[in-house]
Structure formats: structure tokens, C-alpha cells
């Protein structure tokens, strides 16, 4: 029996809650695409939300947010979730903010909240604050209010009336409440084009309980028996769900709350206040929803602070999140069933585990369908472990995993490499597989790398990265060169450039002939604007800084040019990226050893785009290594630099025009003067580009690795 209080209820004070928890929000970044999605104003235009749902990876995040208005800050924060349940009044009160959410996150799914069987007692007088509720109230025939045998209207939550959802209510002009409600959703809500579907609250099963006593469904002056009333009530709710889905069509979703028994009648089910005391039973209900609901069959687990606001009880949050992961459910965490209106955000939300690689399994020996104990589920890039037992347990992971590196609960999320974890009762842990490879950006083969955000915060444990197809110390780039969606490899073997396609076909060429002394630096990007990637080369440490551009087949694709004085013998580092947000990539160079730390910017045909800048003291003669990548989410790439030999491991970030973004940071011990190389890429597939720093000083690298990974 569903007994949780629902929150439309707190419609009674919608605006008073608008600032709750805003000042105390945990911080995290989740960079999202900036694609404009206009609001469609015609109901006949189908939405394509199924594609969005299929793009969401674990952990899948939902937010149950029921304010009647939202502002720009709300819109920005809410856009970080994958699925939102928002009050229907927002289409009237904050339509621009709804559009802003979708602009920030085109893959988001947004459902309109409405109650299936209740309405505020004052709804007819709320034309300014709640115009849709007023419209709905005006469609209600007085005979459709639920009463007892004495004719008294029934209520569950103070300030609301319960509607008679059954077929025993009188038909007025051939319609009953369930007919009016379904048509209202279509004509007044979905017609706005702002929603991907509807979310019905109050999927009750025991109407006698929620009406606080017996009810007279047919108005004959006699109360129905409890069993008879419940059967009629349940049939009426099913009719609402099915009729709504029928008239909306398959392009829209129908979700509901509070009634696990209705899983086969809807496409999504919210489990509010998880686990409601019985973890095993609730997990079984979630599993049943995922396996037997109307496709795509989406369960949502809603955990909360128990109406305390203590959002820093991280173990409680992890328990709900990991339990959701066991069943491939979306996860929501908020204040409680008395206030759904927060955007708490946690380190675990950015774990990006990828897709599951198997089902949930019990790891402590006993069998049973979600019986109490320790459970685990593995994913492409990590695992979730839940202790649903009554005692603390030590769990052998059968291999190395990396704990998250967090700022909120560093005792648990300390970034360490572990092969076992100890969990107290009703706690969980989210783990990632240690990083082993880099794609999308250049790396120094066989070098030790560490990963940072643009502020210099270390994000993951360091690791050694290599590709056996290329020589130690050479530059390697793993990316899709031929547009077939598979990772190819471009690398150097001394003075030779070699391309190895995923198909197995390989080509090689000597960009400077066979007389070059030393090796070649490379970068990859579309510098000609033809929609395909080219290979840009530069002599690395000797020879003049002659920049050349090549096709994958080794044909010169653009005019060659000198990045610095042709007499300069130190070569250059090279990077490619879109600095101005327009169609073509630019070429960025850094002077090689013997030169000052001079960075210059060129178009693909060699024309100077910027006179350049010095990344470090102009008197430094170790040269500068460069990388290019978007770090701020504005569609324009930044330039990242690393000091060459003789300098400390100093990383700096500049705008595409050379404006410094802060003072930079030291990626390793300052005593490391071997020089560092840098790249920018999304190494752990979390939709956020990070800075990777490489060093070949293995002594200091090993010390750094030990200090970070085995604290």
C-alpha cells in the first residue's frame, strides 16, 4: 500500500520554497551541449524522446522539481540532469526557462507534473498563479468530487479535494473525470510543445486509506465495501493512463507515481522515498517495472533526506543511487516527500560508468531475488556495490578499481586504487576502472600522465599510457580519421608518420624526407575546412619550424609555412583546434628547445592569425609544448601550454587570442625539469574535456603515482 505523502500538496506554498537549499548546493560540473531547441507550438509535431533516453548513460539522473516558477539559476542547474519532472504551470509561468533548459541540454527528457485524482480546493481562483489548474478546475462537474455516503467531499491532503476517477461517477455530456483529464493533458499541456510526456502523481491503490474512510462511488447514499471501492478505483486509474497514452500517441511518455501495481499501464514509474523500509520488496518492484512496463519501461528511484535537509549524509545518497544502478533505473535525490524542489548534486553523478555489462548479482554467497545482503553490478567503466544487509561487510572486488576523487566525502571518495572495500549497513560505493588509454588527443608513448581540470585540480589517478604499435617517446593520436566511427591511430616512428586504420590498413610517409635529424611532432584536425581530418607536422627538436599538412594517404593537403624564423633550428610543437568557434580548425605552434616560449596561431593555409604570445618568461629557452581543446563550454577552444626541458612542470591555459586564464598550475613536483607535454581530451567519457600532462621522468612520475593512488 502506498502511504507516502505527495508534493502537489505543497502547492499550498509554492513560492515560499523557491530558495530552499540554493546556497548550500554541492558543486560539480557537467558540461552540456549548446544546441538551440525551439519550443514547438503545435501538438501534432511528435517529439523524439526515445532517442534521448537511449543516449543516457549510467548513472542516469532525474530531478523531481515541483516549483511553479523557475529562474535562470534553476534552469542552468536543472539542465544537468537527464530527466526532469516539472510542474505543468511552468509552461505558463516560466516558458523561457523551459526553453533554456532544453537549449542547454538537447537530450533532456521533461515531463509535465499533474495529479491524477486531486485538485486544490481553491484552484478555480488561481488564474494568475496557477492558470492551468484554474482551467482544469473549471472543467470539473461538481458530481465528480469523491464523497462518502453522507455527501461529504473526501480529502487526503489538507487544501485538496479527491476526484472520483471511477466509471461509477455520473457521465456528464458523455464524459467522466478520466475523459476530461486525458483530453486536458493533450489540449492544454502537450499542445505547448514544451514537454516530452506527462507525469501523473497519486497512483493510489487503497482509496479507503487515502480518503480516510469509506466512499460512495455511485452516489446512491451507500458506501462501497473496501474491496469493491479499490477495484473500481484501480480500474479508473488504469483507464486514465491508457486513455492518455492512446490520445497522445507513442511520441509522448506517460509516467506515474505511488502505485507499483500499475507498472504495465505506463512507460515510467517513480518510486518515491526509496526504499520505504523494505529494500528487497522495493527492488523487486523496480525490477518488475523495468522488465514488464510499457516500453521503454523507465523506473525512477527517488531517495531523500527524510525531510531533514541533511543533504551531506552521503551514505544515504549512495545507498539509493547504487540501488538504482542495480536495476538500470534513473535516480533522484531531494529534501523529501514534503518538498521536491532541490538540485543537490554529488561527485557520484559524474562517474559516467557507461552501459551495464551484466545484471545485478549477489556477492556474499546466498541466493534470492534481491534478498538482503551485498549486491554488485558491473559497467563498461566501473561498478556499483551495495550493502543491503544488517552488518558491515568487507567486499573482495576480484581486481583493481579506482575510487572516485571527490570534494564532498573524501573519506570514501579518496581516489585510491583498491581491490576490496568495507561497507557499513545501508551504504554503497561507486567505483571506476583505472584508466589505461587515451583517445582523442595526442600522447607521448610510454609516458606517465596525470589528469587535471582547467583550474589544476587532479581528477584521476596517474597512469602510464602506451601503444605497442609505435616507439617509446613518440607522439600517438587515437581518433577517427576516416569517418567510420572506429578509432584509428596516427603516430610517429622517429622521422616517419604512420597511420593505422581500424580496418588494419596502414600507410606511412616521411614529411621531411630522409634527411631530417630527430623526430616529428604531429597534430590532427580539419584545417582545410573540407570536413575531413588532416595531419599537421613539425620537426620536433631539430631543423627549422616548417609546418606541413597532409592527408591520411600522405599527400600534402595545404601550403607549407615557417612558424618561426627559417634560421631557427629548434623545431616546434604543434596543435590543432577551433579557436574562434567557426568552421575551420586553426594551427597553434610552440617554439622548440633553444627558443623562447613563443606561441603563434595560424590558419590552415599558413596565414598568421595572431602575432602570438609568450607562455612563460621570454628569457626561458626550453621551448614550449602546446595543446588545444575546449575547456569552458563556450564552443571556442583554449590553448594549453607546458614548459619544455629545463622548466618546471608548469601548465597554463590561455584563450584563443592569448589571454591568460589564471596563473596556471604545477602538474608534478617542481623539481621535475625534464619538460612536459600536454593534451586536451575527454579521457573518461564524461562529456567534459580535461588536461592531460605527460612526463618521461619515470622516477618522479612513479613517486607522484604512489602519492596519489595509494594514500
Q: What tens digit of pLDDT does each residue of 457-506 get?
A: 888 888 888 898 888 888 999 999 988 889 999 999 888 999 999 998 99
Alpha helices in 430-552 (DSSP H): none
User: What integer pLDDT is reported at residue 366 of this predicted model?
Assistant: 65
The answer, yes or no, to whether residue 604 has pLDDT greater than 60, is: yes
- The dihedral built from the CA positions of residue 354, 359, 362 and 368, taken in this order, carries a sign that is positive
What single-letter DSSP state applies at residue 293? S
Question: What are the DSSP calls for 95-130, one per residue?
Answer: HHHHHHHHHH-TT-EEEEEEESSEEETTGGG-TTT-
Could you give the percent of the chain with pLDDT greater than 70? 90
User: What integer pLDDT is reported at residue 541 of this predicted model?
Assistant: 82
The answer, yes or no, to whether residue 184 has pLDDT greater than 90, is: yes
Answer whether 5's CB lies under 8 Å from 664's CB.
no
User: What integer pLDDT is reported at residue 132 of this predicted model?
Assistant: 97
Cell readout for 219 is: 452516489
| Mean pLDDT along residues 544-553 | 94
Q: What tens digit of pLDDT does each residue of 414-460 get?
A: 999 999 999 999 999 999 998 888 888 899 888 889 999 889 988 88
- Burial (Cβ within 10 Å: 0-12, 13-18, ≥19) of residue 42: exposed
User: What integer pLDDT is reported at residue 308 of this predicted model?
Assistant: 96
What single-letter DSSP state applies at residue 315? H
Answer whether 333's CB lies under 8 Å from 300's CB.
no
What single-letter DSSP state applies at residue 159? T
Half-sphere exposure in the Cβ direction for 638 (13 Å, CA): 25
| Mean pLDDT along residues 682-690 | 79
Instruction: Identify the CA nearest to 4 among candidates 366, 307, 289.
Output: 307
Instruction: Identify the CA nearest to 299 among candidates 457, 507, 83.
Output: 83
Answer whether 527's CB lies under 8 Å from 549's CB.
yes
* Residue found under cell 514488464: 292
End-to-end CA distance of the chain: 48
Q: What tens digit of pLDDT does each residue of 58-88 get?
A: 999 999 999 999 999 999 999 999 999 999 9
CA 384 to the chain's CA centroid:
17
Answer whether 303's CB lies under 8 Å from 330's CB.
no
Q: What tens digit of pLDDT does each residue of 531-543 get?
A: 899 999 999 988 8
Confidence of residue 611 (pLDDT cuts 50, 70, 90): confident
What single-letter DSSP state applies at residue 541? S
Q: What tens digit of pLDDT does each residue of 223-280 get?
A: 999 999 999 999 999 999 999 999 999 899 999 998 899 999 999 999 999 998 899 9
Confidence of residue 54 (pLDDT cuts 50, 70, 90): confident
Answer whether 710's CB lies under 8 Å from 702's CB.
no
131-155 residues labelled b (16+ CB within 10 A) or e (exposed): bbbbbbbeebeeebbbbbeeeeebb
Could you give the percent of the chain with pLDDT greater than 90? 73
* Residue found under cell 583517445: 439
Q: What global pTM score does this model have?
A: 0.80
Is the preceding omega at residue 537 within 30 degrees of 0, hence cis?
Answer: no
- Burial (Cβ within 10 Å: 0-12, 13-18, ≥19) of residue 246: exposed
Cell readout for 535 is: 595531419
Amino acid at each position: 500500500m502506498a502511504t507516502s505523502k505527495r508534493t502537489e500538496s505543497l502547492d499550498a506554498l509554492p513560492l515560499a520554497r523557491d530558495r530552499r537549499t540554493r546556497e548550500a548546493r554541492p558543486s560539480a560540473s557537467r558540461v552540456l551541449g549548446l544546441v538551440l531547441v525551439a519550443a514547438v507550438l503545435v501538438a501534432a509535431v511528435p517529439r523524439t524522446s526515445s532517442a534521448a533516453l537511449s543516449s543516457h548513460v549510467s548513472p542516469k539522473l532525474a530531478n523531481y522539481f515541483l516549483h511553479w516558477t523557475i529562474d535562470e539559476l534553476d534552469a542552468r542547474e536543472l539542465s544537468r540532469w537527464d530527466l526532469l519532472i516539472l510542474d505543468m504551470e511552468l509552461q505558463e509561468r516560466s516558458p523561457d526557462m523551459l526553453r533554456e533548459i532544453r537549449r542547454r541540454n538537447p537530450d533532456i527528457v521533461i515531463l509535465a507534473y499533474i495529479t491524477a485524482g486531486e485538485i486544490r480546493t481553491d484552484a478555480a481562483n488561481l488564474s494568475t498563479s496557477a492558470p492551468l489548474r484554474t482551467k482544469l478546475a473549471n472543467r470539473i462537474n461538481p458530481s465528480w468530487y469523491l464523497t462518502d455516503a453522507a455527501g461529504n467531499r473526501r480529502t487526503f491532503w489538507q487544501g485538496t479535494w479527491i476526484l472520483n476517477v471511477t466509471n461509477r461517477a455520473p457521465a456528464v455530456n458523455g464524459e467522466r473525470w478520466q475523459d476530461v483529464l486525458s483530453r486536458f493533458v493533450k489540449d492544454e499541456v502537450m499542445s505547448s510543445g514544451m514537454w516530452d510526456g506527462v507525469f501523473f502523481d497519486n497512483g493510489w491503490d487503497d482509496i479507503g486509506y487515502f480518503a480516510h474512510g469509506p466512499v460512495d462511488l455511485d452516489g446512491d447514499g451507500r458506501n462501497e465495501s473496501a474491496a469493491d471501492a479499490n477495484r473500481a478505483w484501480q480500474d479508473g486509474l488504469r483507464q486514465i493512463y491508457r486513455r492518455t497514452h492512446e490520445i497522445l500517441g507513442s511520441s509522448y511518455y506517460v509516467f506515474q507515481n505511488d502505485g507499483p501495481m500499475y507498472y504495465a499501464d505506463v512507460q515510467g514509474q517513480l518510486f518515491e522515498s526509496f526504499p520505504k523500509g523494505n529494500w528487497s520488496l522495493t527492488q523487486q518492484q523496480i525490477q518488475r517495472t523495468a522488465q514488464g512496463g510499457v516500453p521503454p519501461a523507465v523506473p525512477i528511484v527517488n531517495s531523500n533526506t527524510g525531510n531533514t535537509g541533511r543533504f551531506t549524509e552521503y551514505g544515504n545518497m549512495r545507498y539509493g543511487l547504487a540501488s538504482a544502478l542495480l536495476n538500470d533505473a534513473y535516480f533522484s535525490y531531494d529534501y523529501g516527500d514534503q518538498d521536491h524542489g532541490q538540485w543537490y548534486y554529488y561527485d557520484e553523478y559524474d562517474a559516467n560508468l557507461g552501459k551495464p555489462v551484466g545484471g545485478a548479482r549477489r556477492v556474499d554467497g546466498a541466493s534470492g531475488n534481491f534478498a538482503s545482503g551485498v549486491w554488485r553490478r558491473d559497467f563498461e567503466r566501473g561498478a556499483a556495490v551495495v550493502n543491503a544487509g544488517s552488518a558491515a561487510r568487507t567486499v573482495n572486488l576480484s581486481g583493481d578499481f579506482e575510487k572516485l576523487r571527490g570534494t564532498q566525502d573524501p573519506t570514501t571518495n579518496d581516489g585510491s586504487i583498491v581491490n576490496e572495500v568495507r561497507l557499513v549497513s545501508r551504504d554503497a560505493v561507486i567505483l571506476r576502472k583505472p584508466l589505461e588509454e587515451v583517445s582523442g588527443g595526442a600522447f607521448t608513448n610510454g609516458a606517465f600522465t596525470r589528469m587535471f581540470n582547467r583550474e589544476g585540480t587532479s581528477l584521476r589517478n596517474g597512469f602510464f599510457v602506451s601503444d605497442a604499435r609505435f616507439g617509446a617517446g613518440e607522439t600517438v593520436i587515437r581518433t577517427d580519421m576516416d569517418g567510420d566511427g572506429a578509432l584509428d591511430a596516427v603516430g610517429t616512428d622517429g622521422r616517419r608518420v604512420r597511420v593505422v586504420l581500424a580496418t588494419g590498413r596502414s600507410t606511412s610517409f616521411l614529411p621531411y624526407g630522409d634527411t631530417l635529424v630527430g623526430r616529428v611532432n604531429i597534430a590532427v584536425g580539419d584545417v582545410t575546412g573540407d570536413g575531413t581530418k588532416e595531419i599537421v607536422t613539425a620537426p620536433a627538436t631539430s631543423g627549422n619550424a616548417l609546418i606541413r599538412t597532409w592527408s591520411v594517404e600522405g599527400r600534402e593537403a595545404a601550403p607549407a609555412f615557417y612558424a618561426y624564423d627559417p634560421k631557427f633550428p629548434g623545431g616546434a610543437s604543434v596543435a590543432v583546434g577551433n579557436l574562434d568557434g567557426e568552421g575551420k580548425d586553426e594551427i597553434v605552434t610552440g617554439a622548440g628547445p633553444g627558443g623562447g616560449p613563443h606561441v603563434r596561431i595560424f590558419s590552415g593555409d599558413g596565414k598568421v592569425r595572431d602575432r602570438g604570445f609568450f607562455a612563460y618568461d621570454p628569457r626561458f629557452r626550453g621551448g614550449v609544448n602546446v595543446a588545444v581543446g575546449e575547456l569552458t563550454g563556450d564552443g571556442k577552444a583554449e590553448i594549453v601550454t607546458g614548459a619544455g626541458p629545463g622548466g618546471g612542470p608548469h601548465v597554463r591555459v590561455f584563450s584563443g587570442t592569448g589571454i591568460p586564464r589564471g596563473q596556471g598550475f604545477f602538474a608534478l613536483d617542481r623539481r621535475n625539469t625534464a619538460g612536459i607535454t600536454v593534451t586536451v581530451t575527454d579521457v573518461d567519457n564524461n562529456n567534459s574535456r580535461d588536461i592531460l600532462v605527460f612526463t618521461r621522468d619515470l622516477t618522479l612520475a612513479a613517486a607522484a603515482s604512489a602519492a596519489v593512488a595509494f594514500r
